[in-house]
Amino acid sequence: MVEHMPQFFLLSLVGAAAWYGYKQMTRDAERVAERSRESEAEMRTGAQGTLVRGPDGIYRIRKD
């Protein structure tokens, strides 16, 4: 049992890294898809940018 522990530890470490990489990749893909949808909407409407309301209540163009 003890002789298999280094392999088990290495395999679990590789699995955790793969899981973290997959989660990061899906998060980035969602972010890119959202920017693409917003860009398409701006092109359809002819907008120059997307306005967001700041904490002071004033609308400004969102900076990416």
pLDDT at 63: 82
Checking phi first, is residue 46 left (phi over 0); if not, alpha (psi -120 to 50) or beta? Answer: left
Q: Which pTM value belongs to this model?
A: 0.63
Dump pLDDT digits (tens) for 19-59.
999 999 999 999 999 999 988 988 998 888 888 999 999 99
